[in-house]
């Protein structure tokens, strides 16, 4: 995978109020229709043709693009490594970063980067569009303009939002608290377990009490992933064969167990035995709720107490996206034993202690 650099002149020499790096990965934002009426990525070097108002932001903007932009359904940890390495390499010479990304897996990528960029104290704002920017009614224009404004916003020379976020449809959300909840409306994302960080109206109103304080020290990049992880979603009528197929996967290191309500599961003897056997083999099982809001409280009901007794780990109020990417990085960087200890700690504001 390669990156190409695109120059975007939006400020007079010496007049820029901030230096911002845009990383264009692909997604609906940069799509246009080909001769067959199919949406395909356009070259980001033509973005000023679609968004001439970028010239009015008085920002020193540099853009880099995936040489071959991708649909976010094709995103992989290798792409996360590429995005994070660009931010890491350019960190000292830019005041903020905007990542243009497809919406389908944006919450996964934002979550992953929140854990990868350890010690982050600058804004990394993800955004995109539900309609291509080439469309007359595209939401991409406002999303990008405001994301750039937030990425460059400072108070007393300090960045206002020194964390990984998603900006979409007039709301700024913590990246590792976000989920995609809508495919046909512009309000594509929600963070059910955490307040909105900012709302954009005539002015941008920041919820300062919800924004993370800037980290001390230098930026450290965690970039080693363990991808032998599965997501097992419980449902009425689930069979032993289905569960066994997951727990018996060769090389499996961890399972995200999506349970009901506050962490509840059927009390079927065979299910508890399957999960217990997996834990005894060294497989980490993290319990997260299928609900978009709320948290896992193991032992509150009998239907979660047995999970607690066999050594299942509570995921508290983490999203599936955060739990998955966090486990990938913790196991990859520190090994399974340390990952079991660290998974319940808040590393980047992803859970409420």
| 3-state SS, one letter per residue, for 39-99 | EEECCHHHHHHHCHHHHHCCCEEEEEEEEEEECHHHCCHHHHHHHHHHHHHHHHHCCEEEE
Q: H or E element: which one contains 32?
A: strand 31-33
| Judgement on whether residues 54 and 192 belong to the same structural domain of the protein | yes
349 lies in some domain? no
Q: Are strands 31-33 and 39-41 parallel, antiparallel or unpaired?
A: antiparallel
- Rounded Cα–Cα distance for residues 164 and 268 (Å): 40
Structural domain range at position 178: 3-221
Say whether both 110 and 246 belong to one domain: no
Residue 274, CA atoms < 13 Å, CB-side half-sphere: 22
CB 336 within 8 A of CB 283: no
3-state SS class at 103: coil
Catalytic residues: 28
Q: Are residues 192 and 259 in the same domain?
A: no
Percent of the chain with pLDDT over 70: 91
Domain ends where: 200, 221, 242?
Answer: 221
51 within a domain of the structure (yes/no): yes
Examine the domain organization and report whether 175 and 143 are in the same domain. yes
pLDDT at 179 over 90: yes
DSSP letter assigned to residue 149: H
Same domain, 12 and 114: yes
Q: What pLDDT, on the 0 to 100 scale, is given for residue 15?
A: 75
In this prediction, residue 22 carries a pLDDT of: 93
The verdict on pTM exceeding 0.85 is yes
DSSP 238: -
Domain boundary among 164, 191, 221: 221
Residues 25 and 47 both lie in one domain? yes
The arithmetic mean of pLDDT across residues 46-74, rounded, is 81
Within-domain flag for 261: yes
Among residues 102, 99, 81, the alpha carbon closest in space to that of 39 is found at: 102
- Per the structure, how many domains does the chain have? 2
The predicted-structure confidence for 186-201, as pLDDT tens digits, reads as follows 788 999 999 999 999 9
Question: In the prediction, which pLDDT does 44 show?
Answer: 64
Q: Are residues 176 and 207 in the same domain?
A: yes
User: 200 and 238 share a domain?
Assistant: no
pLDDT confidence bin for 302, thresholds 50/70/90: confident
How far, in Å, are 29, 150, 229, 252, 255 from residue 249 at the CA level? 37, 44, 9, 6, 11
- Cβ–Cβ < 8 Å for 113, 175: yes
Judgement on whether residues 197 and 296 belong to the same structural domain of the protein: no
| Angle, CA 148 vertex, CA 101 and CA 177 arms, to 5° | 55
What is the average pLDDT score of the chain? Answer: 91
Residue 348 lies in a domain: no
Residues 237 and 216 in one domain: no
Per-residue pLDDT band for 45 (boundaries 50, 70, 90) equals: low
Range scoring the smallest mean pLDDT among 29-43, 120-134, 166-180: 29-43
Instruction: Supply the pLDDT for residue 14.
Output: 65
Q: What is the CATH number of the domain that holds 312?
A: 3.40.50.40
Q: Is residue 121 part of a domain?
A: yes
Final residue of a domain: which of 182, 200, 221? 221
């Amino acid at each position: 995978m390669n990156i190409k650099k695109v120059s975007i002149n939006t400020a007079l020499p010496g007049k820029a109020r901030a230096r911002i790096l845009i990383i264009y990965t692909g997604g609906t934002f940069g799509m246009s229709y080909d001769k067959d009426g199919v949406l395909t990525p356009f070259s980001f070097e033509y973005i000023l043709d679609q968004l001439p108002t970028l010239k009015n932001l008085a920002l020193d903007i540099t853009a880099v693009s995936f040489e071959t932009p991708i649909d976010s359904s094709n995103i992989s940890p290798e792409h996360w490594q590429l995005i994070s390495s660009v931010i890491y390499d350019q960190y000292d010479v830019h005041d903020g970063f905007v990542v243009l990304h497809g919406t389908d897996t944006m919450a996964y990528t934002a979550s992953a980067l929140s854990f990868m960029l350890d010690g982050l104290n600058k804004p990394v704002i993800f955004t995109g569009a539900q309609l291509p920017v080439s469309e007359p009614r595209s939401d991409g224009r406002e999303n990008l303009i405001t994301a750039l404004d937030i990425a460059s916003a400072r108070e007393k020379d300090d960045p206002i939002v020194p964390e990984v976020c998603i900006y979409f449809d007039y709301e700024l959300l913590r990246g590792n608290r976000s989920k995609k909840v809508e495919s046909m409306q512009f309000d594509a994302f929600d963070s059910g377990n955490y307040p909105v960080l900012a709302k954009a109206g005539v002015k941008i109103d920041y919820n300062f009490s919800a924004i993370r304080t800037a980290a001390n020290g230098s930026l450290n990049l965690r970039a080693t992933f363990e991808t032998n992880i599965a997501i097992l979603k419980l449902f009425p009528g689930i069979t032993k064969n289905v569960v066994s197929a997951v727990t018996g996967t060769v090389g499996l290191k961890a399972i995200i167990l999506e349970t009901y309500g506050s962490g509840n599961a059927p009390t079927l003897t065979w299910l508890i035995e399957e999960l217990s056997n997996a834990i005894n083999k060294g497989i980490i099982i993290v319990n997260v709720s299928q609900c978009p809001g709320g948290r896992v409280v193991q032992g509150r009901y009998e239907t979660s107490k047995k999970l607690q007794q066999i050594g299942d780990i509570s995921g508290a109020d983490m999203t599936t996206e955060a739990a998955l990417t966090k486990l990938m990085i913790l196991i990859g960087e520190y090994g399974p034993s340390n990952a079991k200890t660290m998974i319940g700690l808040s590393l980047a504001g992803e859970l409420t202690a």
